Structure 1
Amino acid sequence: MSFRRGVVRQSKFRHVFAQAWKAEHCIDDIRVSRVTWDTSLCAVNPKFIAVIIESGGGGAFLVVPISKAGRIDQSSPTVCGHLAPVLDIQWSPHDDNIIASASEDCTVKVWQIPDGGLTSPMTEAIVTLEGHSKRVGILAWHPTAFNILMTAGCDNVICVWNVGTGELVYQLSDAHPDMIYSVCWNKDGSAVCTVCKDKALRVIDPRRGTVLKVKEKVHDGTRPMRAVFLSDGKILTTGFSRMSERQMALWDPKDLSEPMAVQEMDTSNGVLLPFYDPDTNMVYLCGKGDCTIRYFEVTDESPYVHFLSLYSSKEPQRGAGFLSKRGVDVNKCEIARFYKLHERKVEPISMTVPRKSDLFQGDLYPDTAGSEPALLADEWIAGQDASPLLVSLSGGYAAPQSKHREILKSKPKLAPQDSGNATPSNAAAPTSHSAEEEVPRVNTRETDGNAERPKREEDLLNELLAEMKALRAVVLAQSQRIELLERQLARIEDGDV
């Protein structure tokens, strides 16, 4: 027996409300960048807030601990190693101290921020990635593979880097005929979706360098668009109609002939920046220059995209940072937090589900992506895929420091974990070397050095085995790349290309 639901749709997120924090919890006196590039200008993780700021003679961004509040002194140290304005910044999902920055100087730099924040200006990046011929405006870390970073520039080229070695591993130079507006990985990092100035949506396999799907004119308007992969594989886009109305559309990559849903917003000209939460399947839309944040829930039932509510304030936003789920306050039923950029202020805004109970609300907080990577960079390059490794938020999230650092020993390291301002390096140091350096320090604290020897030998053996596994993956990846190049060469010789 079937029945129709009532007019009111049942959803635990139907009453989510937004609330700005009090003035004393805001960060004041920040000169937010006036660059006209359409990025969020802000990046947040459970440790730090980073904001692109105005700076003379180059590009800079400010990094402060997330607990920071009050006025920022004008002499506060910044990350200031770029020669031209910074256009985008993104924290690594697998190390809360690592941040990448893209700039008009055509480079991408990766920085290691010391715990507690900067004590002096940071000018030396641990890795500088040079491969774009024009300004670089888009960054996207791989969601599950350690040290894999995708960049897109105004040269219409997408690059995929192994930042642990500084190596450019893949380059897509002929997939886009015009400027790229956005790139987004899917859940396991096996594909990316992009939107371009030619108004087309593309689904791309970056390892093969092939375009899997194309949809011409996802939005008819000429203003910039955005696209994000949802956790079930669908794609949500934002853009403008022919009549300059702002739109959001939901697409099924299996059939791109028509959108599953289209929502018209208003006629404002601010680019809509979508922020997606895979745990709640909610989408938040922040328009640059708007005073509002709209939020929606995406479900499997028609009309698929359900408008929930609208946060409105008097001040327009210059940009916004979206805090990863690991940083929200589960004791207050906070499911999302934004850091709204004003002209000279950063204002936190909490999204909360009203609940009376003080107990942990497990239905609001399914296990979420943790900071541990599921794959090594070389394993992903070799063709492996893996979903994010999940952690429970019951009792709040605590980073598994000791476990995290042990695992990092067997991975290509960006820099020593204890170093704040590390020296640049374009090659991964042998992991066994760092273990040998630690041995004397252990022995000086031990009364009986022989007691520690079996444990040290076991640790060293494990590290060597992990290094052999990583090298095996590199050899496999290179073999596959050689095979691909040989096939391409054969096609050229046969006149197929």
Structure 2
Amino acid sequence: MTSLDYAMARGLYSGMIRWTNTDAINTKLSTGRIERDAPLVAGHKAAVLTIQWCPHHDDVIASGSEDCTVKVWQIPEGGLHENLVEPVADLIAHQRRVGVIQWHPTAQNILLSGEQLLKNNCSVEVGVSLEQLLSGGSDNKLFIWNVGTSEALIEIDCLPDIPLCASWNWDGSRFVVSCKDKKVRIIDPRTGDVLKEVKAHEGSKPVQVQYLKNGSVLTTGFSRMSERQLALWDGNMNNIVIQEVDNSNGVIFPFYDSDTNMVYLCGKGDSVIRYFEITDEAPYIHYLNAYQSSDPQRGMGAMPKRGLNVNNCEIAKFYKLHQKGLCEVIPMTVPRKSELFQDDLYPDTPGDIPALTTEEWIEGKNAPPILVSLREGYHPTSKSAIKMSKRPNALAKAIKKPDPNPAQANSEPAAHVKNALAVKTPSAAAAAAPAEQATPAVVLPPGIDLQSVLDDIRKLKIIVKGHERRIKGLEEKVTFYEKKDCEI
């Protein structure tokens, strides 16, 4: 069974989510513990195996189940207030359980469905790509659905074994699928023909596949010695490079960011998230870093780019499912001192507007996703205009000239000196006036309270004095122990 926070698809933060093991989907807007009587999406008659959020509708989700059906749900605005039991589309064609579903990346209402072998595998899928759906089942069949009419457009019956994982390419003109027979196949979705076929990994455990933006294919699997591997293939499924990851036994699920060309590897049962950069130059796969935690992950989901907080320089956000049934939010941020929008971190990304209608895709048209800028989601922390404050001009002050004949001035009587000091010449008065006007009163910038500044200074002085006393006490202790050591 799979449970998911509705806030993921709405671009909101979700907190800790209680994961249940029933034939329902749990949705929640606020953070914290979910109550026992929380409303559910409860329309399946058996366990839910996989879910996929629609990339073009933030409130639409598709689910595949052991009851051999694919259902499409529309979450009401504001979340659920009662159990949702009626789907907007009920897709029935599979003879066995459905564990693989993928929305088309650019066409409207197209969905692919198929089987995912892993049993009792709780997973989170966030922000996939369209309204046509692809599904696969244990009957070794793949279906491409028109969700708008709830009908199967294409049935693909060319697979010799159970499909495990599927991924559309950038414009949705083909998809790649891995099967239980250890082979990876590139298939034309309109004809069902197998264009390329290769044995990706020697190990017996499931292979995960991911189409990259440039047409390459990324796979994760196991070697003959059960070492976990990451491999890169060109568009004709010729191997470019294969890299060993580690010796753990959990299946690795890749999360691909087409904007930055980064891939995040999350293994079931691992407590680490490794991330790599994919380039066109050797060695092609560049290890960057890893996020380490103490608790192992039972499942993992990723927020689409449109839901990231660009003000905090988030480049990815993951939802980690713990063994105890809690979901933890893990943001990946790049530290930047500048508060401006970071164009290098956020190139244009696929938006929520489909590039093709269902009819156009059926007619054979292909189109890349419509890109949008994330700058609209950026809100500057300070919008106040720059104000220039006038400072007093030191050169405008009157220059005091020395007495030309100090001896003569000393010889004059004191009374004459008094009178001379009391009388100002017109030139001296004229020079003094600009000096007085050139030193205006100090004006604080708007929004600054002088009293609060003084209070902060006073508090800082108290803190500094406390630290000084503490340092003095520590120095006395050090001196005492040093003397004691010398005596010994």
TM normalised by structure 2 equals 0.70
Give RMSD over aligned pairs. 1.9
Match of 2:147 among 163, 172, 177: 163
For each residue in 1:197-216, what CA deviation from the matched residue of structure 2 results, as whole angstroms up to 9, or x when unmatched?
1111111001011111111x
> Retained in 1: the 8 A contact 2:172–2:366?
yes
Q: Which residue is equivalent to 1:54?
A: 20
Q: Which residue is equivalent to 1:366?
A: 347
Report the CA distance between 1:45 and its aligned residue. 2.1
For each residue in 1:153-195, what CA deviation from the matched residue of structure 2 results, as whole angstroms up to 9, or x when unmatched?
1111100000000110001012x11111100000000000011
> Retained in 2: the 8 A contact 1:46–1:326?
no
Match of 2:190 among 189, 201, 207: 207
Taking the aligned partners of 1:271 and 1:46, their CA distance within structure 2 comes to 29
Q: Which residue is equivalent to 1:429?
A: none
> Retained in 1: the 8 A contact 2:17–2:325?
no
Taking the aligned partners of 2:19 and 2:153, their CA distance within structure 1 comes to 31
The answer to whether residue 144 in structure 2 is matched with residue 180 in structure 1 is no
Change (3 A) 1:385 1:183: same
The size of the alignment, in residue pairs, is 353
Taking the aligned partners of 1:173 and 1:53, their CA distance within structure 2 comes to 35
Match of 2:302 among 307, 322, 341: 322
**SS of the counterpart of 2:375?**
coil
**SS of the counterpart of 2:226?**
coil
> Retained in 2: the 8 A contact 1:188–1:386?
yes
The answer to whether residue 238 in structure 2 is matched with residue 274 in structure 1 is no
Taking the aligned partners of 2:285 and 2:85, their CA distance within structure 1 comes to 45
Report the CA distance between 1:395 and its aligned residue. 3.7
Report the CA distance between 1:53 and its aligned residue. 4.3
> Retained in 2: the 8 A contact 1:41–1:52?
no
> Retained in 2: the 8 A contact 1:229–1:236?
yes
Q: Which residue is equivalent to 2:374?
A: 393
> Retained in 2: the 8 A contact 1:275–1:283?
yes
> Retained in 2: the 8 A contact 1:41–1:320?
no
Report the CA distance between 1:300 and its aligned residue. 1.0
> Retained in 2: the 8 A contact 1:149–1:162?
yes
Taking the aligned partners of 1:386 and 1:235, their CA distance within structure 2 comes to 19
Taking the aligned partners of 1:346 and 1:88, their CA distance within structure 2 comes to 16
Q: Which amino acid aligns with 2:359?
A: D
Taking the aligned partners of 2:292 and 2:249, their CA distance within structure 1 comes to 17
Change (3 A) 1:47 1:332: closer
**SS of the counterpart of 2:306?**
helix
Report the CA distance between 1:265 and its aligned residue. 1.1
Q: Which amino acid aligns with 1:85?
A: A
Q: Which residue is equivalent to 1:198?
A: 181
- Which structure has more relative contact order (CA 8 Å, sep 6+)? It is 1
Equivalent residue runs for 1:421-436 within 5 Å: none
Equivalent residue runs for 1:466-477 within 5 Å: none
**SS of the counterpart of 1:380?**
helix
Report the CA distance between 1:230 and its aligned residue. 0.2
Match of 2:38 among 50, 70, 76: 76
The answer to whether residue 284 in structure 2 is matched with residue 304 in structure 1 is yes
Equivalent residue runs for 1:230-241 within 5 Å: 230-241=212-223
Taking the aligned partners of 2:187 and 2:219, their CA distance within structure 1 comes to 16
Q: Which amino acid aligns with 1:98?
A: V
**SS of the counterpart of 1:265?**
strand
Report the CA distance between 1:51 and its aligned residue. 7.8
Q: Which residue is equivalent to 1:354?
A: 335
**SS of the counterpart of 1:354?**
coil
For each residue in 1:471-492, what CA deviation from the matched residue of structure 2 results, as whole angstroms up to 9, or x when unmatched?
xxxxxxxxxxxxxxxxxxxxxx
Q: Which residue is equivalent to 2:463?
A: none
Q: Which amino acid aligns with 2:189?
A: P
Q: Which amino acid aligns with 1:240?
A: F
Taking the aligned partners of 1:155 and 1:77, their CA distance within structure 2 comes to 33
Q: Which residue is equivalent to 1:108?
A: 70
For each residue in 1:87-136, what CA deviation from the matched residue of structure 2 results, as whole angstroms up to 9, or x when unmatched?
00001000001100000000000001011100000111111000000000
For each residue in 1:332-352, what CA deviation from the matched residue of structure 2 results, as whole angstroms up to 9, or x when unmatched?
110100010112211111111
**SS of the counterpart of 1:378?**
helix
Equivalent residue runs for 1:338-349 within 5 Å: 338-342=318-322, 343-349=324-330
**SS of the counterpart of 1:311?**
strand
Taking the aligned partners of 1:150 and 1:108, their CA distance within structure 2 comes to 10
> Retained in 1: the 8 A contact 2:18–2:326?
no
Taking the aligned partners of 1:93 and 1:111, their CA distance within structure 2 comes to 14
Report the CA distance between 1:397 and its aligned residue. 7.2
Change (3 A) 1:51 1:62: farther
Gaps of 5+ in 1: 1-32, 399-497
Q: Which amino acid aligns with 2:44?
A: H
Gaps of 5+ in 2: 115-136, 380-488
Q: Which amino acid aligns with 1:388?
A: P
The answer to whether residue 146 in structure 2 is matched with residue 150 in structure 1 is no
Q: Which residue is equivalent to 1:415?
A: none
Q: Which amino acid aligns with 1:366?
A: P
Q: Which residue is equivalent to 1:283?
A: 263
Q: Which residue is equivalent to 1:458?
A: none
Change (3 A) 1:51 1:205: farther
The answer to whether residue 244 in structure 2 is matched with residue 264 in structure 1 is yes
> Retained in 2: the 8 A contact 1:327–1:397?
no
Q: Which residue is equivalent to 2:486?
A: none
Taking the aligned partners of 2:261 and 2:21, their CA distance within structure 1 comes to 38
Taking the aligned partners of 1:288 and 1:173, their CA distance within structure 2 comes to 30
Change (3 A) 1:89 1:272: same
Q: Which amino acid aligns with 2:309?
A: D
Q: Which residue is equivalent to 1:132?
A: 94
Report the CA distance between 1:227 and its aligned residue. 0.5
> Retained in 1: the 8 A contact 2:311–2:378?
no
Q: Which amino acid aligns with 2:307?
A: G
**SS of the counterpart of 1:349?**
strand
Change (3 A) 1:378 1:397: farther
Taking the aligned partners of 1:124 and 1:47, their CA distance within structure 2 comes to 25
Q: Which residue is equivalent to 1:226?
A: 208
Q: Which amino acid aligns with 2:166?
A: V
